[in-house]
Amino acid sequence: MEIAVVIGLLATAVILFARETLPVDIVTCLMLVALMATGILTSDEAFAGFGSEVIVLLACVFIISAALRETGTVDWLGVKLNGLATMGLGQFTAVLMTGVSGLSAFMNNTTVTALLVPPVVGVARSRKVSASLLLMPLAFASILGGTCTVIGTSTNVAVSGYMTSAQLGPIGFFELTPVGLVIVGVGTAYMLIFGRRLLPDIQDSSDLAEAYLLREYLSEIVVLPTSPMVGQTLRDSDLGLMGFRVLQIHRGTSHLTPSPERKIQVGDVILVNGKVESLVKVRAIEGIEIRADFQLSREAVKSRDHEMVELLVTPGSEFLGRPIRNLELPAIHGVTVLAVNRQGRRLREQIKDVTLATGDILLVDGPSERVETLRNRPDIAILGEVRSQAGSRLGLLVLAILLAAVGISSLGWVPLSMAMLAAALAVVLVGALPAGKVYQAIEWRLLVLIAGMTAFGTAMEKTGAANVLAGFVLDTLGALGPVGVLAGFVVLTVILTQPMSNAAAALVVLPIAIQAANQLGANPRTFAIAIALAASVSLIAPFEPSNLLVYSAGKYRFIDFVKVGGPLTLLLLTIILVLVPIWWPI
Q: What pLDDT sits at residue 294?
A: 46
The sheet carrying 380-382 orders its strands as 345-347, 336-342, 361-367, 306-313, 380-382
Averaged pLDDT of the chain = 82
- Number of other CB atoms surrounding residue 308 within 10 Å: 22
Whole-number pLDDT of residue 471 = 84
How much is the pLDDT for 291?
60
Contact, 101 vs 145, CB < 8 A?
yes
Which DSSP helix (H) or strand (E) runs through 339?
A: strand 336-342
What is the structure's pLDDT at 351?
Answer: 66
| CA atoms within 13 A of residue 281's CA, in its CB half-sphere | 11
pLDDT at residue 250, as a whole number: 83
- The CA distance from 24 to 8, in Å, is 17
pLDDT attached to residue 207: 60
User: What is the pLDDT, as a whole number, of residue 210?
Assistant: 61
pLDDT at site 307: 75
**Of the candidates 408, 423, 395, which has an alpha carbon nearest to the alpha carbon of residue 60?**
423
Question: Is 392 in a helix, a strand, or coil?
Answer: coil
Q: What is the pLDDT of residue 300?
A: 47
Class in CATH terms, 305-382: alpha beta
**Distance separating alpha carbons of residues 230 and 227, to the nearest angstrom:** 6
* Predicted pLDDT at 276: 55
Ranges of residues in the chain whose predicted pLDDT is under 50: 215-216, 292-303, 390
The pLDDT value given to residue 30: 92
Name which CATH class applies to 215-295: alpha beta
pLDDT score at 103: 87
Domain with CATH 3.30.70.1450 in the chain: 215-295, 305-382
Q: Would you state the pLDDT for residue 79? A: 66
Write the CB contacts of 46 (distance below 8 Å, at least 6 apart in sequence): 32, 35, 36, 455
**SS (HEC) of 403-440:** HHHHHHHHCCCCCHHHHHHHHHHHHHHCCCCCHHHHHH
Residues 6+ apart with CB under 8 A from 454: 48, 49, 52, 54, 158, 161, 162, 165, 507
Q: Which amino acid is at 329?
A: L
Distances, alpha carbon 84 to alpha carbons 93, 95, 97, 120, in Å: 10, 9, 13, 11
Measured CA to CA, the distance from residue 129 to residue 132 in angstroms comes to: 9
